[in-house]
Amino acid sequence: MIPIHGLHLRAVLIQALRTFFIDRGYLEVETPIRIPAPAPEAHIVPLTSEGWFLQTSPELCMKRLLAAGIPKIFQICKCFRKGERGDRHLPEFTMLEWYGAKSDYRDLMRDCEALLHHLGTVMGKGGVLEWQGRRIDLGPEWEHITVAEAFRRYAPCTVEEALAQDQFDEILVEFVEPHLGMTTPTFLCDYPVVLGALARLSPAEPKVAERFELYVAGLELANGFSELVDPVEQRARFLAEQAIIRLQGRDPGPMPEVFLDGLETMPPAAGIALGVDRLVMLFGGADNIDQVVAFMPEGL
Amino acid sequence: MYSASDFRKGLKVQIDGEPYIMTDFSFSKPGKGQALYRARLRNMITGNAFEKTFRSNDKLEKAALEERTMQYLYKQGDEYFFMDNVSFEQLEMSKAQLGDAVNFLTDNMDVEVLQYNGRPIGVTLPNFVNLKVTQSDPWVKGDTSGSDSKPVTLETGYVVQVPPFIEEGDKLQIDTRTGVYVTRVKE
C-alpha cells in the first residue's frame, strides 16, 4: 500500500530543508552517485556497479568541493548500503549532508537546533515532537552528553571495557540508545578515536574524536564531526579501516587517492549526514521507514 | 545454514537439536558501528523463548522439519482439526501451536503441516489467502483526519488495516507472512 500521507509530508519537509539552507547562504550541490573509491569504513558495505561503487555517503566528493574553495554546501541525495534493512533502515535511502568551512562540530550542533526549530514551525508542530508515545521538547536547551558519561550513566560497564570486550555496539544499542533524546533531543558527543574514522581529535582531550550523533526519542538522526584535514593521519586511519575490512574477508577496494591529495588544501571544516527518511518518520509519527517512502525494495 | 542477513520473522531454525521459530526480529546499526540482528527465538515444542543478538557473520542451522499437505476441517474450542488428503489420517493442533495462522484459516483450506520427529508442531499457509470482510465502518465523506487507512474485521475475526474504500462483504487478499492487506479481489 503506497503511504500517500507519508509522501505528502516528505515533499513538504524536503522543501523546508532546501529553504533552510538556501536562506543561510549554502550552495546546493550534486555530486556523482557512482564513484571509483568510497571511504573505507569497517562496517559500511558499498554496492558495486560496473567495477565502481554506489556512494554510501557523498562525503568525499563534498569535501573536495570545500577544498576547491566553496565555503558552505549542502546536498540531498540517495545513498546505498548493502544489507541494511529494518524498521529504520533501507539499503537505498535519502541523505542530507551539509559542510561548512572554518567551522567545527559545535557549529553543527547549533545548525541542528536551528534546523529542527525551522522544521517544527513549517510542519506545524511548534516546539514539540511526538513520536512513539514520547513528547520531545525542541525548546531552547538540548542535552549534550559524552559517550564516556553516557556509558557511566546507563551501561553496565565503562566505554573502555566495552571496547576491550568488543561489545561497544551491543551495549550502546541495548543500554544507552533507549535513553537518548527522550525529553529533548540529545547530542551524544566525543567518540573514542577508533570510532571516528574521518573526525578530528579533540584538542582538549586527544583520546576522543570531535564526533557526535543526534538522537531524538531514541532514534539516531544524524552523525557529524569536525573534519580531519591532515592527509597523513587520514591515510593512516583509512589503512586501519582497510585492515579490518580484509579481516572480515571483504575487498576494501582502492584507496581514495584523489580525495587524499585534495585534503592538502582543505580548510578546517565540519560536516554532517542526516537521514531524511528518519526525519520524515519523526515529523509524521511513523514507526517504520516503509511508511515514508514510495516503494520498498521488496515491493518492486 | 542461514546467515544473519537471512533472518526474518517466521524463520525456522535448529539449535542444539531442537526446532526454534524466530518470533521477533529487528535490525539495528548504531552510527558507524556494525550491523546487529536481535532475534527472539521460541522453541517450537516447549514454547520456551529467549532473545539473542547476532552479528553479520553468525549463522543458524535450518530446522530439519517434514511437511505434508493437509486440509483444514474445522475447530472445536481451541483445537483445530486437519486431514491428510491422501491417507485421510486426521490430527489436531491447539491454537497456541498454530499461532498467527488461526487468523487466516478457512474451512477446506490446504495447508502444509509441519512435523518434527513425527509430531505436528505447526502449519505453513499459502502466502496469500482471500478473506471476506464481516465488519467495516462506512467511510465518512469529508474525513479530514488525513489517515489513508481504517480497520476492518475479516471472517476469521482478524482485524486488518485497509484503504477507506473497502466495504462489508468485500473479499480481500491478505499476505499471511506479514498479515498485511494486499488488494481487493473479485468473486
Domain ranges of chain B: 2-62, 66-124, 128-185
Size of interface A-B (CB pairs under 8 A): 64
C-alpha distance from residue B32 to each of A51, A228, A233, A289, B15 (Å): 24, 16, 19, 19, 31
| A248 at interface of B, judged by CB pairs closer than 8 A | yes
Asked if A158 and A151 touch (Cβ cutoff 8 Å), the reply is: yes
Dist CA A15 CA A32 (whole Å): 22
Residue A174: HSE in the Cβ half-sphere, 13 Å Cα cutoff:
17
Asked if A20 and A121 touch (Cβ cutoff 8 Å), the reply is: no
Dist CA A266 CA B19 (whole Å): 57
Identical fold, B66-124 and B128-185: yes
C-alpha cell of residue A129 = 515532537
* Residues A43, B35: C-beta atoms closer than 8 Å: yes
C-alpha distance from residue B169 to each of B102, B134, B135, B184 (Å): 20, 6, 8, 11
Residue in chain A lying closest to B6 (CA): A83
Measure in Å the smallest separation between the Cα of B175 and chain A Cα atoms. 12
* Residues A220, B180: C-beta atoms closer than 8 Å: no
> What per-residue confidence (pLDDT) applies to B144?
59
Q: Which residues on chain A are in Cβ contact (under 8 Å) with B28? A: 86, 88, 173
pLDDT at B145 over 70: no
* Residues B57, A173: C-beta atoms closer than 8 Å: no
Measure in Å the smallest separation between the Cα of B124 and chain A Cα atoms. 21
Measure in Å the smallest separation between the Cα of A203 and chain B Cα atoms. 22
Q: Which residues on chain A are in Cβ contact (under 8 Å) with B27? A: 84-89
Q: Which residues on chain A are in Cβ contact (under 8 Å) with B26? A: 86-87
E strand spans, chain A: 27-28, 34-35, 48-49, 52-54, 72-80, 92-101, 128-131, 134-137, 143-146, 186-192, 208-216, 219-226, 269-275
CA dihedral B123, B127, B129, B133 (to 10 degrees): 100
- Give start and end residues of each alpha helix (H) in A24-94: 59-67
Low-confidence ranges of chain A (pLDDT < 70): none
Q: Which CATH architecture has domain B128-185?
A: Beta Barrel (2.40)
> What per-residue confidence (pLDDT) applies to B28?
94
> What per-residue confidence (pLDDT) applies to B31?
82
Share of chain A above pLDDT 90, in %: 90
Assign a CATH topology to domain B2-62: SH3 type barrels. (2.30.30)
> What per-residue confidence (pLDDT) applies to B139?
67
Question: Collapsing DSSP states into helix, strand and coil, what is residue B121?
Answer: strand
**pLDDT range class, residue B118, cuts 50, 70, 90:** confident
Assign a CATH topology to domain B66-124: OB fold (Dihydrolipoamide Acetyltransferase, E2P) (2.40.50)
Share of chain A above pLDDT 70, in %: 99
pLDDT at B187 over 80: no
> What per-residue confidence (pLDDT) applies to A218?
95
The CATH number given to whatever domain includes residue A16 is 3.30.930.10
pLDDT at B96 over 90: no
C-alpha cell of residue A115 = 534546523
Of B32, B146, B148, the CB nearest to A197: B32
| Count of domains forming chain A | 1
Task: Please state the length of chain B.
Answer: 187
* Residues A223, B32: C-beta atoms closer than 8 Å: yes
| Domain of A115, in residue numbers | 4-299
Dist CA A81 CA A297 (whole Å): 13
Query: Which residues on chain B place their C-beta less than 8 Å from a C-beta of chain A?
Result: 5, 26-36, 38, 53, 56-57, 146-149, 163, 180-181
Which ipTM was obtained for this model? Answer: 0.87
Q: What is the DSSP string of A167-230?
A: -HHHHIIIIIGGGTTSSS-EEEEEEEGGG-TTBPBPSS-TTEEEEEEEEETTEEEEEEEEBP--
pLDDT (average), residues B108-115: 92
Name residue A237's amino acid.
R
pTM of the model: 0.79
- 84-143 in A: which are within 8 Å (CB) of B? 84-89
Q: At what angle do helices A4-23 and A105-122 cross, to 10 degrees?
A: 130
Nearest to A189 by CA among A231, A142, A138, A150: A150
User: Hey, which residues does A129 pair with through a beta bridge?
Assistant: A136
Of A3, A85, A213, the CB nearest to B31: A213
Of A4, A5, A44, the CB nearest to B32: A44
Asked if A81 and B33 touch (Cβ cutoff 8 Å), the reply is: no
pLDDT (average), residues B18-23: 93
Dist CA B114 CA B117 (whole Å): 10
